[in-house]
Amino acid sequence: MPEIISLLHASLLVADLDRSRRFYEGVLGLQPSSARPPMSFDGIWYDIGAAQIHLIRLPNPDPVSERPAHGGRDRHTALGVRDFAGLQAGLDAAGLRYSLSQSGRRALFVRDPDGNALELVALD
């Protein structure tokens, strides 16, 4: 049996790459990676530790309107965060809705402009 040892990247479908970049770069503070080759479709990569998030501008086959209000009850990508209070302040300043983790951990769930759920977990 093979041993899976790491997550390499998570791909998220987005409709408007510029709008998504304002969220991922402007609100979350991620920086685009130049280490990935161009693809046959528009997108952008962000390095997060040894892994990446890949935003792909392609039509989304999944309905966004019927997803649960709490991102923890939906498929999501979890990211470790330092300065959790600063993250919350930035989300509040941007007027973005989020919900705190129902497990009691210092974590929150927020959706990007395309309804993709992100879990942001405090590492500090």
Q: Which amino acid is at 57?
A: R
Q: What is the pLDDT of residue 70?
A: 80
Q: Which pLDDT tens digit goes with each residue over 20-75?
A: 999 999 999 999 998 877 788 899 999 999 999 999 998 877 777 778 888 888 88
CA quadruple 64, 11, 44, 38: dihedral positive or negative? negative
User: How far, in Å, CA of 84 to CA of 81, rounded?
Assistant: 6
CB 10, CB 53: distance < 8 Å: yes
In the structure, what pLDDT confidence band is assigned to residue 104 with cuts at 50, 70 and 90? confident
For the chain, what is the mean pLDDT?
Answer: 90
Higher-confidence residue of 81 and 73: namely 81
What pLDDT does 75 receive? 85
pLDDT of residue 111: 93
pLDDT surpasses 80 at 3: no
Residue position matching structure tokens 């998030």? 53
Tell me the longest C-alpha to C-alpha distance in the chain: 48
* Res 49: pLDDT: 92
5 has a pLDDT exceeding 90: no
Q: Which domains does the chain have, with CATH numbers?
A: 9-59+70-122 (3.10.180.10)
Q: What is the mean pLDDT of residues 2-19?
A: 88
